[in-house]
Amino acid sequence: WHLRAYAESEILGLISPWHAGADLWRIHRLDKIGVRRSSAVAEVALDRFIGAVGLVAAVVVTGVTLPWTVLAIALGAAAAVLAGALVVRRRRPLLAGRWPWPSAKVFALGVLLSIGYQATILGLLVGSIDAVGGSVPPLQLVAVFGASQIAGALPGVHGASPRDGALVAGLASIGVSWTAAFGAVALTALLYWIPALLLGGSCLFLRWRGWFTEPQATAP
């Protein structure tokens, strides 16, 4: 069920700014199986938060120096989320009990999965650059990729987002021709659609035809 829900949400995420459609669809799917709306929203928000932590960690691993403004915003947002969660947990324990609170082990595993996801995107980019006839030193490519992920914090549509623009400019700055840079980024964005349509599209169609039965699970 989780695999189907995630695959279906990716299609909506690809066509919506900031991948917001994916979050809304996951909340909808959780609500349909009996999960409280507040718990569903908290679960999706937690998924985003862990992904953001993994993204920052991946950028740090690449050796890219974050601008002070970006670092301050990221740390400030993390501190605000943590402070809010602690206040709610202290003053409204019943409400906090409905929210997902991952253990340190689960949180660390989520961060590692996020870093691994970023590594797969980097591998896809390497293949795309090679496919369009470009060539770039691996270490410089890692640095450019890490820097472009910072721009991913800004909203944008898949294939034409600030992250994609930053990636094109970054590739051009390390010697890749503008034509090859545009081609590689466009090819990377296009290749996302293949698994999204195969998995997500198939799941949506089969569910529409009544092939799947929804689990009857209710969150506490």
Tens-place pLDDT, residues 49-103: 787 777 777 666 665 555 555 556 556 666 676 676 667 667 766 655 555 667 7
This model's pTM is above 0.75: no
User: Per residue in 114-134, pLDDT tens?
Assistant: 888 888 888 898 899 999 888
Alpha carbon distance 48, 146 (integer Å): 18
Q: What is the pLDDT of residue 219?
A: 44
Distance between CA atoms of 166 and 9, rounded to whole angstroms? 26
Find the angle CA(179)-CA(183)-CA(188) to the nearest 5 degrees: 155
Which token pair is 146? 């890490």
- State how far the Cα of 11 lies from the Cα of 198, in Å rounded to an integer: 10
